Structure 1
Amino acid sequence: MQDNNAARQTQIGILCAIAAYTMWGIAPLYFKQLDIIPAAEVLMHRIVWSVAVLTALIAGFRQWPKVKAALRSRKVMQTLLLAGVLLGANWLLFIWAINNDHLLDASLGYYINPLFNVFLGRLFLGEKLRPLQQLAVVLAGIGVAVLVFSYGELPWIALVLALTFGVYGLLRKRVAVDALPGLFIETLILLPVAVGYWVGWGSEYSQMLSNPIDLNLLLIAAGIITTAPLLCFTSAARRLKYSTLGFFQYIGPSLMFVLAVFLYSEPLQSARLITFGFVWMALVVFSVDSLSAYRKGRKVRLPDAPAR
């Protein structure tokens, strides 16, 4: 019975991971519609309207007792505070990258992230790196090194996106709070900063009474665009091994890569293409290893066949 429940939870986690990364992959289509607005102001709207959406969800699913329990735990609140800051930084850089024609850099960052997850899983969760996983990490490192030597500088956008989101996911996996209450508290922590920015530094587009209706609807939609994939992600993170979770992340950056090259015509220089090539090879190796480990795990869990 426990094995059946564990298998069901894994299936739910896989579906949530696919949904989250698909939504993140097509998110640039939304943020490109807001490129006339400063990235910090778009972030402000993400926070404000996310709090509104999450408040409605918390009330609808009667999650207030879990919110209160988290608020009473000093350890949980310290973790969620750090997670919220990392999440806000990741959101801000992602928006800025999209609206300043650095979508390829964002794509590279999220390609690197699953391999970074493996490293974090080994470092903090005791998840052992298999030989092919080690090879995948080395290949990705070579790809980044190619870009460093070609341009003489680190691909900082990609690395910061991978770092902030990787550590955020690790924190959410380790903190004892459900996805919805945890995300609500994280965004609530960021709310005073967002409101302060709105009052003190908001541009003309902050005066929503004078905006066109379609622009206001786009800004308000930031709440749904933000919360839907994050809820799916945190639900997946609670149900899957951290290294397994990284297996699905290729969906998002692949969609971003296609959008950047074929829709937004960002330049793809040879050095950058070589870097992507090494990272793609790393992900192939990583995927083959993950699939092999999954199949071996299933065989181990299967009961012995009855004697004929």
Structure 2
Amino acid sequence: MKTSDTVMGVTAIGGAAVIWGFSPVFYNALSHVPPLDVLAHRLIWSLVLFGFVLVVQGRLRAVRDAMGTGRTFGLMLLASVLVAVNWAIFIWAVQVGQTTQSSLGYYIYPLVAILLGRVLFAERLSTAQWVAVALVTGAVLVLVLGLGSVPTTALALAISFSLYGVVKKYISAGPVVSVTAEVMLMSPLAFALLWHSWHSGGAVFGGDATSAVLLILSGPVTAVPLILFSYGSKRLAMSTVGLLLYLNPTLQFSVAVFLFGELFTSWHMAAFALIWTALAIYSVSGLRQDRAARRALRAAPVSGTAV
């Protein structure tokens, strides 16, 4: 792979992670708007932007092909529901002052995905991965025992996004096309939510010009990082992508504690220490596996027929 491709890939993934990491600041500015209304605008305006991109690329028909019929359509619909649920939980969490939990959710998501891979696809886990999963489980137990409550928001975000990833394994369409199809499938719900808000006397566009602009910008805030992620992930090893994406929950955590002033107790500190340790173990293991695979690939004899 060319060095320029690597640099561009790192820049794209890093850009996506930074946008996601600071997105709580954006959604916090819309705290006066009901979270389901914000979700509706996010779905509608991201559909507009994704649609524009695909029209420019001449790939709009690919959306119809991606939805397919029967089982394929059912999988796409399930994916659209899961991503909408994940977005709704995240928006709600930021608005009610649980950004720390949202960051926790995206920290533990990779390890929940590992566990689902073992349970659903019989994927083998290395010793390091088992240790990482055990440490994250310990972190959740620390929060349960220390705070007297289950971190439901964090678990809901991690599990919904992990299940979304599971469903996406069965969808062959590329990320931009598939996400466009998903938000298109959810668009009737989005319009229904806004109609209900208007019919109930609510302000569909937030009640002022600033809110209206922010609601429209929720489209680019959603679509741009997904496009960057799609671009970067094609140019980097998955282990590199995974490491760079940890920037997202790290920034969310920093925003929650240092900007929003959310509560951060010694129990949170202990839990996050366990999670950061787990991620370090998991990341080192992933990098070693990636390097071993590359060495094996370079050492493999080249087969072919002489001409």
For 2:6 and 2:156, the matched residues in 1 are separated by 29
Q: State the 1:192 CA deviation.
A: 0.7
Asked whether the equivalents of residues 114 and 247 of structure 1 are also in contact (C-alpha less than 8 Å), the reply is no
Contact 1:114 1:249 survives alignment (8 Å)? no
Aligned to 2:101: 105
3-state SS of 1:129 partner: coil
- Counterpart residue number, 2:31: 35
* Count of aligned positions: 299
Structure 1 residue 64 displacement after superposition? 2.3
Are 1:262 and 2:265 counterparts?
no
RMSD: 2.8
Distance 2:286 2:83 in 1: 27
Q: Report the CA distance between 1:65 and its aligned residue.
A: 2.9
* More helix per residue: 1
**SS of the residue 1:267 aligns to:** coil
Please state how far the C-alpha of 1:81 moved relative to its aligned partner.
0.5
Listed as ranges, the gaps of 5+ residues in structure 1 are none
Contact 1:247 1:287 survives alignment (8 Å): yes
CA distance in 2 between counterparts of 1:125 and 1:240 reads: 24
Q: Can you list the C-alpha shifts for 1:186-230, whole angstroms capped at 9, x where unaligned?
A: 00111111111111124643157x632x32221110111111223
1:159 to 151, 155, 158: 155
Asked if the contact 2:80/2:183 (under 8 Å) is kept, the reply is yes
2:205 and 2:211 in contact (8 A); partners too: no
Give yes or no for contact 1:115–1:246 (8 Å, CA) kept in 2. no
Partner of 1:206: 204
Deviates most, 122-131 or 159-168: 122-131
Match of 1:272 among 258, 268, 272: 268
Q: What is the aligned partner in structure 1 of residue 22 from structure 2? A: 26
1:92 is the counterpart of 2:88: yes
Q: CA deviation at 1:293?
A: 1.5
In structure 2, stretches of 5+ residues that fail to align are: 301-307
Aligned residue type for 1:154? V
Give the direction of change, closer, same or farther, for the CA distance of 1:15–1:115 in structure 2 (3 Å limit): farther
**Residues in 1 aligned to 2:163 and 2:236: alpha-carbon distance in whole angstroms:** 16
Secondary structure in structure 2 of the residue aligned to 1:206: coil
Q: 1:114 aligns with which of 110, 113, 122?
A: 110
User: After superposition, what is the alpha-carbon deviation per residue over 1:59-112, rounded to whole angstroms, capped at 9, x for unaligned?
Assistant: 111112312222334332211111110111111110111111111000110110
Report the CA distance shift for 1:228/1:298 in structure 2 as closer, same or farther (over 3 A).
same
Structure 2 SS opposite 1:47: helix
Pick from 227, 247, 250 the counterpart of residue 246 of structure 2: 250
Q: How far did 1:37 drift?
A: 0.9
Question: d(CA) in 1 for partners of 2:74 and 2:9?
Answer: 26
Q: Superposed, which structure 2 residues align to 1:119-158 within 5 Å? A: 119-158=115-154
> For 2:166 and 2:9, how far apart are their aligned partners in 1?
16
Indicate if the aligned counterparts of 2:205 and 2:212 stay in contact, CA closer than 8 A: no
Secondary structure class of the residue paired with 1:302 = helix
CA distance in 2, matches of 1:129, 1:10: 28
TM-score by length of 1: 0.87
Residue by residue, what CA displacement relative to the aligned partner does 1:152-190 show, whole Å, maximum 9, x if unpaired? 321000000001111112222331111122111100111
In 2, the alpha carbon distance for the partners of 1:220 and 1:207 equals 9
SS in 2 for 1:34: coil
**2:79 maps to what in 1?**
83
